Amino acid sequence: MILGVDIGTSVTKAALIGRDGRSVRSASRPSELLRGPGGVVEQDLDDVVASVVTVVRAVIDGTDEPIDAIALTGQGDGLWLRDEQGRPTRRAISWMDGRAADRVARWRADGVLDRVHALTGSGVFPGSHAALLAHLAEHEPEVLERSAVAGYCIDAVLQRLTGVITVDASDASLPFLDVRTRRYVDEALAACGVADWRRLLADPAEPHAVFALDATGAGLLGLPEGLPVTAGPYDVMTCGIGAGARRAGQGTVVVGTTLSCQALTTDATIDPATEPAGMWLCTPDPDLYLRTMPSMAGTAAIAHALSLVGAGTADLQGFLEESAPGASGVRALPFVSGAGERAPFVEPRATGQLLGMTLANGPADVVRAMCESVAYAARHCLEAAGLAGELSGCGGGLGTAAFAQLIADATGQALHVPHEPFVGARGAAAVAWAALGAPVDEDAWAADRQVIAPQDDLRDQYEAGYARYLADVREARQRWTA
């Protein structure tokens, strides 16, 4: 068995995963998001580590299942600063943080975003390493001075469990890595004004790297010292692997806090003429890359629309059944994050909107309009990512049957959704077994899925709706940049 641990933004989950891809025991614990003025969103590393300890101990308590390894995955981006012992030198800054939004807006106007994109294929956004390092270099340079590493969530937890300072290449990919060589691009650091802090970036681990619990980590988790540990890829990729996307052309839509839309490819050629958004990510296979468009317009936009009408997630299915496709003329844009949008375009000043309402519209129309806008955002991102084959889906947002159907209808793609709920941990387990030299039967894993086909009689309606959505986005972008 592999003990998969998925350290999400708001919830840490652990599950024992068998070689058949099924989980036999699981546990979860929420993590606290610390919000402040000016778009601040932070986390306490000690609290996150405590969440890992809690779920791991809950899963292993009372079981005699043999554990072959721990497989870590979790949230990416943000900035997790530590010293040589793995202690935080300040609170971790979340990928959701918006304090550097004005800086990114200036970089866009000054051409910095275009230069970085041309060098690495990455789109810089407020919650990325580039913007946050530049912000701290100006406002908290003493913190950077006393830090040994500027990393990410997964490698921060790994350091506490193994004592090793490293980073998975998937995390390191954005925004300074050339994914083809797996080396940092000095010109990209210089363009963002953070070349002086290159020492804080750990060199990426080799593909299929395996670490081991040290005495401290073993004591925390209640597991044997020396137990193998893998760390990465981060969650958008392990969700794709766990959902069944594993070959070039195949893609995944992960409907969670982030609406991550992505496609696998063997060609990481950067086209400077495209929007400076999204990211190229290294995968465990050195010859395969993940083109990712992680929109900020995930389930938070739907939850916000529900809250505006005094409802909750449990009401979503009913609202989608009550309001017909097209939401009786109501249209929406789902850009409600305080950090704006990061894919398939970068706009730190992006905001959500509702259009076309009259007194004839009710709460169900408002909620459906927001849901349709999220589905259209997914299609927009998948097209930018280069989806050319089968589409897998996962994430809590697909737990509502009517919304899962809406994703299939709006994208015009059959959606393959795993029956197994712990998709991120499942993907991390598959990576761990490969690293241990005993890869699983991925075709058998991929067969354990539900297929949701788009409804042919609604195709023309959703094509027209998508065209209106793109027009609304174009008009809004002109307004945001005016």
User: Mean pLDDT by 10-residue block, N- to C-terminus, for the chain (482 residues)?
Assistant: 95 95 94 94 98 98 92 97 98 95 94 95 93 98 98 98 98 96 97 98 97 98 98 95 94 92 96 90 96 92 96 97 98 92 92 96 98 98 96 94 98 95 94 96 86 98 98 96 83
Q: Comparing C-alpha atoms, which of 22, 16, 23 is closest to residue 68?
A: 16
Q: What is the pLDDT of residue 352?
A: 96
Q: What pLDDT was estimated at residue 15? A: 97
- pLDDT on residue 258: 81
Contacts by residues 468-477 (CB-CB < 8 Å, ≥ 24 positions apart):
468/331, 469/331, 469/333, 469/372, 469/373, 469/376, 469/377, 469/380, 470/376, 470/380, 472/331, 472/333, 472/353, 472/355, 473/333, 473/380, 476/333, 476/335, 476/350, 476/351, 476/353, 477/345, 477/347, 477/350
The 8-class DSSP code of residue 411 comes to H
Instruction: Retrieve residue 354's tokens.
Output: 């509702």
- Pair type for strands 69-74 and 228-231: parallel
> What's the CA gap between 243 and 314, in Å, rounded?
24
Contact 97, 78 (CB under 8 A): yes
Q: What is the pLDDT of residue 372?
A: 98
Residue of 90, 66, 61, 87 whose CA lies nearest to 78 = 90
Cα within 13 Å of Cα(190), Cβ side: 4
Predicted local distance difference test score (pLDDT) of residue 482:
80
- Rounded CA-CA distance 271/276 in Å is 9
Q: Do 342 and 123 contact (CB within 8 A), yes or no? A: yes
Rounded Cα gap, residues 62 and 85, in angstroms: 32
What pLDDT, on a 0 to 100 scale, did the predictor assign at position 443? 84
